[in-house]
Amino acid sequence: MNKTILNRLAFIDRRIREGMARGKLVNCGELAEEYEVSRKSINRDITFLQDQFDAPISYDASIRGYYYRESNWRLPALPLCESDLFAIAIARQGLAQYENTPVHDRLLAVFRKLEDSLPEKISVDPAWVGDRISVVPDRLAPLDPGVWSRVSDALQRRRRISFRYRKPGGEDESRWVDPLHLTGYRGEWYLIAFCLDRDGIRIFALSRVAAVKLSRTVAVDHDFDYHLYMKDSFGIFRGSTIEQVRLRFGAKQAPYVRERHWHETQELVENSDGSVDLIFVVNHLGELGRWILSWGGGVEVLAPESLRRMVRDELEQARGLYGSHEG
């Protein structure tokens, strides 16, 4: 099927829906005149839609117009080309981050439908992408698919939920929350919600959530704005105090620091010895401290002093575990 026919089918589909929405159904003559083709072409196209795509198109003789008996039917064909297929194949490689959710199989099915809708003339085999291009996902936290489904369902239906939450090293706690946002980060899925038991917004790791129950109570949105909420964060967690951070990376690490954008507020200051200072503001130091430690001796915390102490204490504790090396 060429793009000309596909475009005409899409036009017919759109005009039938517009006619249904306005309460003035469109007929064959109007479709032919508007698209500048013959009535026979339009009749042929409608028959094709009915036979090949099971389109539930009917004709109301009393008002002389076409309509869909099932308004939720959708035209399945897509005018894709080789470059589209390549992009789809690349995107499929990123599905690994959803493997611990029910969304994974659904997304995979969608990608397969998209690939199947390509014209026969397409010669690119999607399989080669998997052999030569890959995306390395973060290691996934174990997650009950039922938990993910019920939480996402609550978000969609705007329902208040209750669940049991297991804190690291602690006992389970019962929580009532208004779900606000679900986000994936480094192999874990997190629910951002207004916790009625704590009277504030909290972040819950879904891998520690169990026994989710939807209530009939409509969840309050609390004027939540995800992007505003995560502003000035370094990672997934956030605090209430904004602090300016200044890190000095040695000459060996400086090229790697320059190559990436680490924070939306960042500023780079070049030093005469080849080192570089990375400056930005954050509202939580915990995740930032762990990131700094991953650089080992290649970075020094210049500010704030609280972060400098945190990193120093961690390094001293680590040194205590290994002790002094004696030959």
Domain coverage including residue 263: 243-322
Q: Is residue 35 part of a domain?
A: yes
Round to whole Å and give the CA distance between 322 and 316.
10
pLDDT tens for each residue of 22-46: 889 999 999 999 999 999 999 999 9
Residue 73 inside a domain? The answer is no
Residue 310 lies in a domain: yes
**Average pLDDT along the chain:** 87
The tally of CA atoms less than 13 A away on the side-chain side of residue 202 is 15
Domain end among 196, 230, 264: 230
Task: Please state the domain count of the chain.
Answer: 4
pLDDT for position 141: 86
CB 59 within 8 A of CB 42: no
Same domain, 10 and 34: yes
Question: Does some domain include residue 138?
Answer: no
Q: What is the pTM of this model?
A: 0.67
Q: State the pLDDT at residue 142.
A: 87
Domain end (from 204, 230, 256): 230
For residues 149-174, give the mean pLDDT: 93
Per-residue pLDDT band at 75 (split at 50, 70, 90): confident
At 274, is the pLDDT very low, low, confident or very high (cuts 50, 70, 90)?
very high
**Closest alpha carbon to 3 in 76, 75, 78:** 78
Residue 58's Cα: distance from chain center in Å?
A: 39
What's the pLDDT score for residue 128?
58
